[in-house]
Amino acid sequence: MAQRVVDAELKPRGYEQLDSLATATGLSNVPNGAIGALLQAEDQFIRWSDAIVPTTSLGMVLAAGDTIWYVGNLDKIKFIELAASAKLNVSYYSL
């Protein structure tokens, strides 16, 4: 798998919170020029994927309180809650 190293300061481009994750949901407010996002699950576990439509049993697990960096196609990534009341905090960044 190829890895990319960025030797530059990332610039904050925006924030959103998704709080309606009962069905697979994509990001809704991706700023122009954003190349990545810092993702944090709040209150409940969330599954995510950029390769399939995630379900409550398929996809990568993001535990409540955990944070990950995602660099990839921000239009393809989707999320679904594993229990009601999950929220996803998203901070967007560009070069």
**Residue 16 within a domain:** yes
pTM: 0.90
**Residue 5 within a domain:** no
**Residue 55 within a domain:** yes
What's the domain count of the chain?
1
Containing domain of residue 67, as a range? 11-94
- SS3 sequence, the chain? CCCCCCCCCCEEEEEEEECCCCCCEECCCCCCCCCEEEEEEECCCEEEECCCCCCCCCCEEECCCCEEEEECCCCCCEEEECCCCCEEEEEEEEC
**Residue 17 within a domain:** yes
**Residue 4 within a domain:** no
Per-residue confidence (pLDDT) for residue 2, from 0 to 100: 61
Determine contact, residues 47/61, Cβ cutoff 8 Å: yes
Q: What is the pLDDT of residues 6-18, one digit of tens each?
A: 678 999 999 999 9
Burial of 77 (0-12, 13-18, 19+ CB in 10 A): buried
Token pair of 24, please?
Answer: 């697979």
**Residue 45 within a domain:** yes
**Residue 3 within a domain:** no
**Residue 6 within a domain:** no
Q: What is the pLDDT of residues 17-64, one digit of tens each?
A: 999 999 999 999 999 999 999 999 999 999 999 999 999 999 999 999
Domain with 30 in it: what CATH number?
2.60.120.770
For residue 5, pLDDT over 70 is answered with: no
